[in-house]
Amino acid sequence: MTSNQFFQLTITKVFLNLKAEASKSYLSYLWWVLEPALFVAVFYLVFGVFLGNRSEGFIVFLMCGKIPYLWFSRSVNNSANAIVAGGGLMNQVSIPKVFFPSVVVLQDLIKSAVVFLLMIVLVLINNYKPSIEWIAVPLLFLIQALVIAPIAIISSALVPFIPDLKFIVMTMTTMGMFASGIFYDYRKVVLPEHHDAFLLNPLANLIAMYRGALLENQWPDWQSLGNITGIAIIALIMSIKITQFFDLKYPRLVIR
């Protein structure tokens, strides 16, 4: 299989999977927006109405962190089992195993792009005015995709060897939510001397930048954005190499 064929196949599979997924429910594609919208509604009810935190735009602040983080945790958890789930197919045809997590990551990427539009709408209806800094958001989105991909690929590459990792991945993504500043503004909660350590978490950093651009008209910190991108690209190459290294091991591992 040439690399061109591989990309064609991956893209085709992604769109057909989305089509298949949509055909399984009555409201089909509408669920992509409906599901996160319900999510926002519940958060609004809990934080805005019951806890009375309506005043300072807390819901918008929350969603600008929650939506990007949800994309990350969904992608990683959905990919963790991707190579195992591809066991049947990889025992029939010779195919690069990175195909399986790639399809999952791209599928989630497309769905998340739609959810991000919802997030922008939410920001707009809360009386935030679009500013020039908003153009950083698509860039942040792409860099977040670059961060998600290697983590998703590595977890899918290791789960066939250690099936128990699936549960660890699940726990880590839930725990990671608390370490990424979804429910709080790190500048108010985390001690100043620990800010640098806190921002070592690329998701915490990206979420702070999303909020900066959308809610505070601030450009991202280009230096740390560059660092994240560089490390993510290296990690991505390494994660692909790992799946290539074990390529012929997987068909036997996942069939047992």
Judged by the rule CB under 8 A, the positions of this chain that interact with another protein are: 1, 4-5, 8-9, 12-13, 16-17, 19-21, 23-24, 89-95, 248-249, 251-252, 256
Nearer residue to another protein within complex by CB, 98 or 206: 98
3-state SS class at 256: coil
Supply the minimum distance, in Å, between the C-beta of residue 247 and another protein: 9
Supply the minimum distance, in Å, between the C-beta of residue 255 and another protein: 9
DSSP 3-16: HHHHHHHHHHHHHH
Nearer residue to another protein within complex by CB, 2 or 127: 2
Supply the minimum distance, in Å, between the C-beta of residue 111 and another protein: 17
DSSP 124-143: HHTTPPP-GGGGHHHHHHHH
Supply the minimum distance, in Å, between the C-beta of residue 216 and another protein: 44
CA atoms within 13 A on the CB side of 167: 3
Nearer residue to another protein within complex by CB, 21 or 133: 21
**CA-to-CA distance for 72 and 152, rounded, in angstroms?**
9
Residues whose CB falls within 8 Å of the CB of residue 2, separated by 6 or more in sequence, listed in order: none
Nearer residue to another protein within complex by CB, 48 or 166: 166
